Every structure is written in C-alpha cells, then in structure tokens.
Structure 1
Amino acid sequence: MHSIGNAALLKLRKVAFLCSRKFPHEAAEKAYDWAEAQRAAGTCVISGYHSPIEKEVLCRLLRGSQPIIIALAQGLHRLDPEWERHMTAGRLLVISRYAQSVSHPCESKCYQRNKMMIDLADTIVIAHASPGGSLERLCSEHGDKVVLL
C-alpha cells in the first residue's frame, strides 16, 4: 500500500463510508446528517469519496478537525491541493494500493479499493447500495460489520 500523510491514522478505530453512484434523495439527506455527527464526534472516517454523496461527505468532514483517510482507486500522483493543509495538520492520510503510474480509476479498481477500505475498517456504513451492484455484493460478504443508514 502507498500513502501520503499521517500513517498513524491507520491505527485508529475507523468507520468506512460507502454509497453507490446512483441513490435515492433520502440517502443523501441521511448521509449528510451522518457526516455532521461523525465530524462532531471526532470519528475517523475512511472512504474513497468517489460517488457524489461520498464527495459531499468529504466536504463536510474537512470542515472539522477529526482524522480522515482517503482511499484512491488510482495512484497518488494527482491529489487535491486543498488536502495539503490537512495532511500538514496530521489529520489526513491518502492511501492507494496502486502505483503512481495508474492514472484512472475503473470499476475493478474501485471494487478493490472498496474491499481494502472494508478490510481496514472496524465498521462499515452504507448510505445506499444499488441492488445487484458490486457494493451490495461486498456488503453481503462483510455483513457483521455493516450498518445501513
């Protein structure tokens, strides 16, 4: 695994947050409320922050001071410049299982990234899993750790 930022965050209790790309409106509302509660509680949240809901959850979490782990489905070559100050503060870790030469996520890389996050997390929170999708399949394999919003 490749990483940039505070690797000590991997030793914390972590909650993985995932949501399918297609989701009902109610899932978004619940996810945003959940993100605000995690920010207030100081929970370390790990996610790919790839789907629209996941991206908005990241925006809400970055407003706080709690630890955050971002798992990429590509190499660590192209990071958001805003993340630098959070890494400097020691509250952000960006991880990837892919070399820098891997420049674009694809479905299989996203699946492997999600599996890595689930393996690292103590709890898995799902805002929405599309029926028959890869996220639903991953959840069924790790049902003991899954919480549905």
Structure 2
Amino acid sequence: MHSVGNAELLKLHKIAFLCSRRFPREAAERAYRWADEQREAGTCVISGYHSPVEKEVLCRLLQGAQPVIIAMARGLNRLAPEWEGAIDAGRLLVISRYAQSVSHPCESKCYQRNLLMADLADSIVIAHVASGGSLERLCMDYPDKIVLL
C-alpha cells in the first residue's frame, strides 16, 4: 500500500463511508447531517470520497479537526491542493494500493478500493445503495459491518 500523510491514523477506530453514485435527495441530506455529527465527534472517517455525496462529506469533514483517511482508486501522483493543510496538520492520510503510474480509476479499481476500506474499517456506514450496483455486492460481503443511514 502507498500513502501520503499520517500513517498512524490507520491505528484509530475507523468508520468507512460509502454512497452509490445514483442516490435520492433524502439520502444526501442524511449523509450530510451524519458527516457534520462525525466532524463534531472527532470520528476518523475513511472513504474514497468519489461519488457526489462522498465528495460533499469530505468537504464537511475537512472543515473540522478530526482525522480523515482518503482511499484512492488510482495512484497518488495527483493530490488535491486543498488537502495540504490537513496533511501538514497530521490529520489526513491518503492511501492507495496502486502505483503512481495508475492515473484513472475504473469500476474494478473502485471496487477493490472499497474492499480495502471495508477491511480497514471497524464499521461501514452507507448512505444509499443503488440496486444492482457494486456497493450492493460489497454489502453482501460485509453484512456484520454495515450500518445503513
């Protein structure tokens, strides 16, 4: 595994957060309230922050001071400039199982990334699962860790 940031965050209690790319508005609203609660509680949240809801959750979490782990479905060759402050503060870790030469995520890489997060997390919070999607398959593989919002 490749990483940038504070690797000690992997030792913390972690909640993975996932949401399908297709989601109802109500699921997004629940996810944003949940993210605000986690920020206030100081919870370490791990996610790919790839879907629209996940991206907004990351924005909300980065406004706080709690630890955050970003799992990439590509190499770590390009990191968002807005992550630098959190990395420098020791509260952000960016991880990937892929070499820097892997520049684009695909469905297979995203699923593998989600499996990595599920293995690392103590529990998995899901805002919405689209029927027939890869997230539905992941839920069947980790039934004891899943919490639906």
Bin of the TM-score, shorter chain as denominator length: over 0.9
Equivalence for 1:84: 84
Aligned residues: 149
* Amino acid in the other structure paired with 2:40: A
Whole-angstrom CA distance in 2 between matches of 1:111 and 1:142? 13
Equivalence for 2:27: 27
Q: Secondary structure at the match of 2:144?
A: helix
Equivalence for 1:5: 5
Runs of 4+ more than 3 Å apart: none
Whole-angstrom CA distance in 1 between matches of 2:139 and 2:96? 21
Map of 1:31-110 to 2, 5 A cutoff?
Answer: 31-110=31-110
Whole-angstrom CA distance in 2 between matches of 1:86 and 1:23? 29
* Amino acid in the other structure paired with 1:110: C
* Amino acid in the other structure paired with 1:59: C
1:1-33 CA distance string (max 9 Å, x none) = 000000000000000000000001100000000
In the alignment, structure 1 segments of 5+ residues that lack a partner are none
* Amino acid in the other structure paired with 1:7: A
Q: Does residue 143 of structure 2 align to residue 143 of structure 1?
A: yes
Q: Secondary structure at the match of 2:127?
A: strand
Q: CA deviation at 1:140?
A: 1.0
Q: CA RMSD in A?
A: 0.4
Identity %: 77
